[in-house]
Structure 1
Amino acid sequence: MKHVQYLLWFAHEHVSFRLHEIESIASVLKIPIKWLEPPSDKPWYLVELPSEEAVQKLSARSVTMRRAIQLWADEPSIPRLHASLKEKCLNGLLEPYKLKSFKVDVDLFCNSQTQEEKLERIESFSYMPFQGHVDLKNPDVTFQFIEYYGLDPKIIPENPIRTFFGRVISESGRPLIHELSLKKRKFIGNTSMDPQLSLLMANLGKVTNGDLVLDPFVGSGSLLVAAAKFGGHVIGTDIDFLMLHGRTRPTRKQTRHIARKDESIEANMAQYSCLDKYIDVIVADSALPIWRSDIEFDCILADPPYGIREPTERIGCKESLPVLKKEGSPVHFPSKVEYGLNEIIKDLMWFSSKHLKLHGRLLFWVPIFRQDYSDAQMARHSCFKLIGNCEQVLTTFTARRLLIYEKIKIPQDTDECSSAIPSASAFREKYFNGDESRQTRKQKKAEAAKNKEIWFAKLNNVKLK
């Protein structure tokens, strides 16, 4: 079977996630990919795929890709691109599409164009023997012309570095991002995951029809929605009783004075027609697993709390005191203590080693201070292989990383687990205050107060003591 060259054209965001997403989707769909160029930070991958059907399936699930294009010409300059296309048109390249309605899309990467310039570029292809009419809304075939000017918006060359032309095979699954928009979602919380990142996690977790997916820090259930959209049967746990029962304070500014009504994760599932994929959510402490010893999940997705918008807590008490409860008194709600980030991660990995299927995937986020980051800080476990480490920049100083693990062996008593991720309190400190130490900030405040005192003294002609 002759494989055809395709250009996978990406949105220029979440760049470090692209390769893992494409490889994960291809693995789920059992689509072989031949790389014609090594994957890079450039906004495309050049690949060979077995069929147009395979291209359509691959692109339909991707949320980092924009569209997939059958490549007709790939040249370092515009004149050479036109020369190549003219020769191919003479050889009958356009024959199957000559009578169909069409349109030509133009995309300039790291440059801009006016409407007049765009029309000039489209008219430059007038030598192509189209006989069908132009249809901008619903054409039978769409062609794509791309000019690439590099990755640095501060240094834009006069002419493009590379040019492409081809036939659009399919659009990507990015409309799903807008369908799951938090703006329209019935139930959200302070930490509801961005829809694109939720869908990315589901793709990277290789969630497919019939999978059993767990989120042990479920919150408002964003990860469950994404996993259900790809066919997974979803279940979640969280220690926050009020969140799971929709009784927390509304997070939308316009409705903060109105109590939540009929808001829940189940309502979100119904909103997105995924109710048949929803098992349930349970109030539980992830540090004290409630599961049967023989239950296994196909995928575990998690966004553990790290003390910015949600506290890091587990059930416990600071002092060992007897619990006194009178007969007929209300139900006892257990007290909570701080739950260190390293302890959260290690408990999650121990749990996953026992309850994740072999070759299943565990994904979770960890916060980092970029200046101090080291790969050696990331969690390790004998049962897992780290296959992905993707960064999302939050501020100049901070970021969070999505760690992708695959279970490679059955757990044993000799297994080891380690994690040297900085504490949540340290991350919180640096998140809000950059790289300044607490002592430095105190000194600055003291100096500012002293200067203010001196200024008032001079203003009022008063001598300082």
Structure 2
Amino acid sequence: MTHLWRRYLLWFANEHVNFRIPELESILSMYDIPLRWLEGPSALPYVIAELPSEESVKLLASRSVSLRCAVELWARAKTRDGLHEEMKAFPSERTSSYFSADKSFRVTVETFCKTISQKEKVEKIEEFSYLPIEGPVNLSDPDVILHLIEYYGMEPNNIPEKPYDLFFGRWVCDGSRDLICKLSLKKRRFIGNTSMDSQLSILMANQGKVMPGDLVLDPFVGTGSLLVAAGQFGGFVLGTDIDFLMLHGKTRPSRITQKKREVGESVKANMEQYSCLDKYLDVIVADCALPLWKSSLVLDAIITDPPYGIREAAERIGRAVKPGEEDVEYRISEEHILAGHVPSKVVYSLKQIFHDLLRFAADHLKLGGRLVFWIPIIRSEYQDGSEGDLPKHKCLTLVANSEQVLSAHSSRRLLTYEKTAEVGGSEDTCESGVEGGRFDNKAFRACYFNQLRQSDT
């Protein structure tokens, strides 16, 4: 089949700006969709690109929660007169099939960063009266939707009289932003203090390139938000967590109006709530520092949010070691106390968490499989492009690094690694370009709360 490359306007939601392109590129890679940038990534809420078919655009939109809509772009100009001149010059053979008598239509007007009246919208629509449209108007369910978008910049307190840019074309499809509402934590049966926001969970699943039939693990599973998102895309999901009470739904409820946990609150109940129980394998109480898996385990994706020691403790099984004392493996020598034994725990340093996570991913991901996880950052200590300071492994390649700003002084970055080589021996080890403070729990907590107090004063 010959590809019919067309020009498309991809319009994004104006939130999580830093995640748009990594999500877009992940989906393109997932479905092997080629794309030619005409106006590529920038701070603007849109990009213009050529894609080989309308089916590829719809496939892209079927997964993206950053994308608001896709429009086949027929005309684009800086002025209203220029837009109409370009539209009049657009090849009629490209539009005639949409203007036939058997096709109903609707024209929609959208203004970015400016509100206009319905009367003004009608006036703008009437300016396109030269189009040879023969079909009837249908405002509720038309066969063809023509879309006019006027862009007035990004400053709501400094709106220009005339738009900076105008776009006109045929609406192709919307993105999958309805999935954000569907998986909203407000409606979720089982949540906790650190349950991941639904939109970010979906973004992480897309970054992990989760496809139907994939095996996906969350080693810090908590209440299972990331499993829910992966399960929505057809992945078979499983998780581990050291918190016995959390996995058994026995922790204190995080909702203010809820005094105690309801019967049946669990990760499994969440999966059942969203009709993906058939994708749920299980969750296991286990220490991420002591992997319980066979060496033959092969995963398609590892998607997780490790604890930072702020809202949830970062702990592993172990015993406190006095200065000069040797750190020996934690063992229970007497079998009769095993049944009721609660293992002691020690601080699981951020640096060690990331080291263990990357090493585990290198051992158990398939080639091309992805590891997606968050790291906390004190913004004054991190400079864009300083990827040498991030955790790394010789078998894993960093393919995306997106920031979510949490406050004036702190943020977290979503890192996506792809496995590009098999582990060949002891030389394939984890490395960290950071020594000391940045990935040290106590240093991070101290800096976080110190700057929080300074901002309050």
TM-score by length of 1: 0.89
Q: Which moved more, 1:334-343 or 1:415-424?
A: 415-424
Aligned to 1:431: 448
Give yes or no for the alignment of 1:404 onto 2:416: yes
Q: Give the Å deviation of 1:382.
A: 1.1
In 2: Cα distance, 1:292 partner to 1:65 partner: 40
Aligned to 1:461: none
In 2: Cα distance, 1:369 partner to 1:387 partner: 22
In 2: Cα distance, 1:393 partner to 1:63 partner: 19
Answer whether contact 2:372 2:417 (CA < 8 A) is retained: yes
1:274-332 Cα distance to aligned partner (Å, 9 max, x none): 11111110000000000001111011111000012111101111158996979579610
For the residue of structure 1 that corresponds to 2:227, the secondary structure is helix
Shift of the 92–392 alpha-carbon distance from structure 1 to 2, 3 Å rule, reads closer
Q: Give the Å deviation of 1:154.
A: 4.2
Q: Which moved more, 1:36-45 or 1:58-67?
A: 36-45
Q: Which moved more, 1:35-44 or 1:169-178?
A: 35-44
Aligned to 1:178: 181
Answer whether contact 2:332 2:338 (CA < 8 A) is retained: no
1:284 to 281, 286, 300: 286
In 2: Cα distance, 1:55 partner to 1:92 partner: 17
Answer whether contact 2:71 2:171 (CA < 8 A) is retained: yes
Shift of the 290–330 alpha-carbon distance from structure 1 to 2, 3 Å rule, reads closer
List aligned pairs for 1:359-374, cutoff 5 A: 359-374=368-383
Aligned to 2:193: 190
Who wins on radius of gyration, i.e. which is larger?
Answer: 1
For the residue of structure 2 that corresponds to 1:13, the secondary structure is coil
Q: Which moved more, 1:176-185 or 1:104-113?
A: 104-113
Shift of the 128–396 alpha-carbon distance from structure 1 to 2, 3 Å rule, reads same
Number of aligned residue pairs: 439
In 2: Cα distance, 1:32 partner to 1:326 partner: 60
Which stretches in structure 2 are left out of the alignment for 5+ residues? Answer: 322-327
Which letter maps to 2:294? R
In 1: Cα distance, 2:94 partner to 2:64 partner: 33
Aligned to 2:222: 219
In 2: Cα distance, 1:230 partner to 1:120 partner: 43
Give yes or no for the alignment of 1:106 onto 2:109: yes
Which stretches in structure 1 are left out of the alignment for 5+ residues? Answer: 445-465
Which letter maps to 2:28? A
Q: Give the Å deviation of 1:51.
A: 1.2
Answer whether contact 1:238 1:244 (CA < 8 A) is retained: yes
Answer whether contact 1:239 1:285 (CA < 8 A) is retained: yes
2:204 to 178, 195, 201: 201
Q: Which moved more, 1:16-25 or 1:334-343?
A: 16-25
**Sequence identity percentage:** 52
Which letter maps to 2:181? H
Shift of the 83–208 alpha-carbon distance from structure 1 to 2, 3 Å rule, reads same
For the residue of structure 2 that corresponds to 1:434, the secondary structure is helix
Which letter maps to 1:391? E
Q: Give the Å deviation of 1:418.
A: 2.4
2:300 to 273, 298, 301: 298
Shift of the 328–33 alpha-carbon distance from structure 1 to 2, 3 Å rule, reads closer
Answer whether contact 2:99 2:132 (CA < 8 A) is retained: no
1:399-430 Cα distance to aligned partner (Å, 9 max, x none): 10001111111112112322324323333334
Which letter maps to 1:390? S
Aligned to 2:311: 309
Answer whether contact 2:372 2:414 (CA < 8 A) is retained: yes
In 2: Cα distance, 1:270 partner to 1:45 partner: 38
Q: Give the Å deviation of 1:398.
A: 0.9
In 1: Cα distance, 2:50 partner to 2:91 partner: 22
For the residue of structure 1 that corresponds to 2:418, the secondary structure is strand
Q: Which moved more, 1:219-228 or 1:128-137?
A: 128-137
Q: Which moved more, 1:78-87 or 1:130-139?
A: 130-139
Answer whether contact 1:89 1:128 (CA < 8 A) is retained: no
For the residue of structure 2 that corresponds to 1:183, the secondary structure is helix
In 2: Cα distance, 1:329 partner to 1:233 partner: 32
Aligned to 2:324: none
TM-score by length of 2: 0.90
For the residue of structure 2 that corresponds to 1:208, the secondary structure is coil
Aligned to 1:336: 345
In 2: Cα distance, 1:67 partner to 1:142 partner: 12
1:29-72 Cα distance to aligned partner (Å, 9 max, x none): 12111112232221112111111111111111111001111111
1:171-211 Cα distance to aligned partner (Å, 9 max, x none): 11111111111111111111111111111111111111111
Aligned to 2:364: 355
1:103-128 Cα distance to aligned partner (Å, 9 max, x none): 22222223332333333322332332
List aligned pairs for 1:8-87, cutoff 5 A: 8-87=10-89
Aligned to 1:416: 429
For the residue of structure 2 that corresponds to 1:177, the secondary structure is helix
For the residue of structure 2 that corresponds to 1:367, the secondary structure is strand
In 2: Cα distance, 1:401 partner to 1:323 partner: 39
Q: Give the Å deviation of 1:233.
A: 0.7
Answer whether contact 2:359 2:429 (CA < 8 A) is retained: no
Q: Give the Å deviation of 1:431.
A: 3.5
In 1: Cα distance, 2:427 partner to 2:92 partner: 68
Answer whether contact 1:398 1:430 (CA < 8 A) is retained: no
Answer whether contact 1:247 1:260 (CA < 8 A) is retained: no
In 2: Cα distance, 1:4 partner to 1:259 partner: 53
2:407 to 374, 392, 395: 395
Which letter maps to 2:142? P
2:274 to 272, 275, 282: 272
In 2: Cα distance, 1:316 partner to 1:47 partner: 53
Give yes or no for the alignment of 1:124 onto 2:127: yes
Answer whether contact 1:384 1:406 (CA < 8 A) is retained: yes
Q: Give the Å deviation of 1:17.
A: 1.3
Which letter maps to 2:314? T
Which letter maps to 1:265? V
Answer whether contact 2:302 2:361 (CA < 8 A) is retained: yes
For the residue of structure 2 that corresponds to 1:117, the secondary structure is helix
Answer whether contact 1:249 1:260 (CA < 8 A) is retained: no
